[in-house]
Amino acid sequence: MTKSDQVLPASAAHYRGGSGAPLVLLHGGTSSWRCWESLLPTLIDRHDVLAPNLPGHAGRPSSHPLAIGGLADAVETAMDDAGFDTAHIAGNSLGGWVAMELARRGRARSVVALSPAGGWLPTETRVPKIFVSMRRQLRFGYFAIPLVMRVPALRRILMRIVCEHGDRLSPRQAMDAARDALVCTLVDELVHPVPAQTEPYGDLGIPILMAWGECDRLLTAPRYCDPWRRLVPAASWRTLPGVGHLPMFDDPALVAGTILDWAQRASTNQQTG
């Protein structure tokens, strides 16, 4: 049994493991906690990791999956149940947006936001159309997907909108991602346009890193990152080379190192401050 096998939990609703300072991992829209799977063996060596499934995802019910406040409420409840008053928080896409809301509420020690969602105009229609199209394609070709996902080159083509190197995933990981997208009720409730983040965050008093994939084709730069520069003027910025919208799939070592480095910097600053 590999170390990666050993970190998989009994519960499908969330992951909890490791020891050290609390770390919360928040997945993006249509995904689940399993998108972090390749990072967990590295992260649990230094952190007590909690990775919940957001409402409206992976079979979890939700009446308003796009209400960012409601998503933050759900994560706060999960943190309370885990005994986390505060935690380092890393989130991707929708999870990055939720991470920023948790920081606003004083629940974060630091934040790493990986291509956070919400940095668009209130008239945004492009992103919901992409998700609806992806869902339609998955439903239409679902019975062929297990065969397609066995071929690395085809995995790379099929997953091109969300990651640069889909061929680096195992067939099982790629199928997990496809199933997560199919059972996500968020797509069924998308409206045109989708809600946007419009209220600035100001200086939240904690280290915040905005990290954007160099090859992000879903939330392209500068269109979707420039609004976040205005919303969080105190944040630090970093471009992650060679990765797409889901950098955890493209380069787990890079993303794990980024999260660990940022949490360590925050802890050091808090100890010396």
Distance CA 77, CA 62 (A): 15
Can you give the pLDDT at residue 111? 98
Evaluated on CA atoms 252, 258, 261, 266, the torsion sign reads negative
Q: In the chain, what is the greatest distance between 2 CA atoms, to the nearest angstrom? A: 56
3 state DSSP class of 111:
strand
Q: Tell whether pTM > 0.85.
A: yes
Give tens-digit pLDDT for 88-110: 999 999 999 999 999 999 999 99
Can you give the pLDDT at residue 166? 96
Can you give the pLDDT at residue 58? 82
Residues linked to residue 51 through DSSP beta bridges, in sequence order: 15
Distance CA 81, CA 102 (A): 16
Angle at 182 between CA 31 and CA 2, to 5 degrees: 50
194 — pLDDT class (breaks 50, 70, 90): confident
CB neighbour list of residue 10: distance below 8 Å, 6 or more residues apart: none
Mean pLDDT for all residues in the chain: 91
- Tell me the CA distances in angstroms from 29 to 36, 91, 117, 236, 249, one per residue in order: 14, 11, 9, 24, 15
Can you give the pLDDT at residue 67? 83
Can you give the pLDDT at residue 200? 96
Can you give the pLDDT at residue 63? 55
* Block residue for tokens 């080379």: 241
- If you count them, how many residues does the chain have? 273
**CATH architecture group of domain 3-123+196-272:** 3-Layer(aba) Sandwich (3.40)
| Single-letter residue type at 200 | P
Can you give the pLDDT at residue 56? 86
Give tens-digit pLDDT for 19-60: 999 999 999 999 999 999 999 999 999 999 999 999 988 867
Give tens-digit pLDDT for 174-189: 999 999 998 888 887 7
* Block residue for tokens 């770390």: 23
Q: Cis bond leading into 222, ω under 30°?
A: yes
Q: What is the DSSP string of 188-253?
A: GG--SSPP---S-----SS-EEEEEETT-SSS-TTTTTHHHHHH-TT-EEEEETT--S-HHHH-HH
pLDDT at 76 over 70: yes
Give tens-digit pLDDT for 216-233: 999 999 999 999 999 999
Give tens-digit pLDDT for 235-262: 999 999 999 999 999 999 999 999 999 9
Distance CA 116, CA 142 (A): 28
Rg over alpha carbons for the chain, rounded to the nearest Å, is 17
Q: Which residue has the higher pLDDT, 183 or 163?
A: 163
What's the average model confidence in pLDDT over 64-88?
Answer: 90
Q: Say what percent of the chain tops pLDDT 90.
A: 77
- Tell me the CA distances in angstroms from 246 to 107, 157, 201, 257, one per residue in order: 24, 15, 24, 15
3 state DSSP class of 168:
helix
5 — pLDDT class (breaks 50, 70, 90): very low
Distance CA 69, CA 73 (A): 6
Nearest-CA neighbor of 187 among 27, 53, 29? 29
Can you give the pLDDT at residue 185? 84
